[in-house]
Chains A and B, each alone.
Chain A
Amino acid sequence: DTGVSQNPRHKITKRGQNVTFRCDPISEHNRLYWYRQTLGQGPEFLTYFQNEAQLEKSRLLSDRFSAERPKGSFSTLEIQRTEQGDSAMYLCASRPSGRDSYNEQFFGPGTRLTVL
């Protein structure tokens, strides 16, 4: 399967614990996004990487959230001191660099986080 993969698919944690999610983008895609989706809503942008550089962060990304993309390959999203409001589906998407008219983003299956 050459699509975007995410692990774990589900995570249940207790309030106050730290969690880390991993995303492996499509191999030739150098641009990577994290989004968060809550029930009944569309995904909301969290952060963006071009290669290993984190170039944009949303206001939604509080200081308890940190994302990395070492060597411009896979990415991790860590949430420290989780809160019940962090319960959501965390989605990763990737797209290749290319012509100016190109902005198709391909999503992974998501990691569903439940904070008890």
Chain B
Amino acid sequence: QKEVEQDPGPLSVPEGAIVSLNCTYSNSAFQYFMWYRQYSRKGPELLMYTYSSGNKEDGRFTAQVDKSSKYISLFIRDSQPSDSATYLCAMSAKSSGSARQLTFGSGTQLTVLP
């Protein structure tokens, strides 16, 4: 079983819909949580970053972390066709070493239909 599980999609929604993307994880040491957006054949672009638990809002995007359930979410309000991409969750532990390398989910492919 993978350390990070992500709903595989693909997910298609109409323009203006609220999108919910989710990941679960098994490593209780994870403390840094990120969401990246990746367009086809491009590098991942950092969207949201959260340290430890709680919510974070940035424009149309809201990230939630529930460490007790080992569950993180990304909500996109008023979705736009330009939001069509693959969304990757990523997380890392506050390890004794300094690397803090990211462990990624496999990504959810989102299409927002005009």
Q: Which residues of A contact B (CB under 8 A)?
A: 4, 6, 31, 33, 35, 40-45, 48, 50, 55-56, 58, 89, 91, 93, 100-110, 112
Q: Are A91 and B43 in contact (CB under 8 A)?
A: yes
Q: Are B104 and A44 in contact (CB under 8 A)?
A: yes
Q: Are B100 and A43 in contact (CB under 8 A)?
A: no
Q: Are A103 and B32 in contact (CB under 8 A)?
A: yes
Q: Which residues of B contact A (CB under 8 A)?
A: 4, 6, 32, 34, 36, 41-46, 49, 51-52, 88, 90, 92, 94, 97-107
- In the bound complex, residues from chain B placing their C-beta under 8 Å from that of A106 are 46
Q: Are B107 and A41 in contact (CB under 8 A)?
A: yes
- In the bound complex, residues from chain B placing their C-beta under 8 Å from that of A33 are 99, 101-102
Q: Are A91 and B94 in contact (CB under 8 A)?
A: no
Q: Are B34 and A104 in contact (CB under 8 A)?
A: yes
Q: Which residue of A has the minimal Cβ distance to B89?
A: A42
Q: Are B92 and A103 in contact (CB under 8 A)?
A: yes
Q: Are A41 and B97 in contact (CB under 8 A)?
A: no
Q: Are A45 and B101 in contact (CB under 8 A)?
A: yes
Q: Are A109 and B42 in contact (CB under 8 A)?
A: yes
The answer for the CA separation of A74 and B114 in the assembled complex, in Å, is 42
Q: Which residue of A has the minimal Cβ distance to B33?
A: A103
Would you list 19 pairs from A and B whose C-beta atoms are within 8 A, ordered by A residue? A31-B98, A41-B107, A42-B4, A42-B6, A42-B88, A42-B104, A43-B44, A43-B88, A55-B99, A101-B51, A101-B52, A103-B32, A103-B51, A104-B49, A105-B34, A105-B102, A107-B36, A107-B43, A108-B43
Q: Are A43 and B104 in contact (CB under 8 A)?
A: yes
- In the bound complex, residues from chain B placing their C-beta under 8 Å from that of A112 are 41
The answer for the CA separation of A50 and B100 in the assembled complex, in Å, is 11
Q: Known interface pairs A42-B105, A104-B49. Does A55 touch B97 (Cβ–Cβ under 8 Å)?
A: yes
Which 9 pairs from chain A and chain B are nearest by CB? A42-B104, A45-B101, A48-B99, A103-B32, A107-B43, A56-B99, A101-B51, A109-B43, A107-B44
Q: Known interface pairs A42-B90, A45-B102, A55-B98. Does A91 touch B44 (Cβ–Cβ under 8 Å)?
A: yes
- CB A86 to nearest CB in B, in angstroms, measures 18
Q: Are A103 and B43 in contact (CB under 8 A)?
A: no
Q: Which residue of B has the minimal Cβ distance to A44?
A: B104
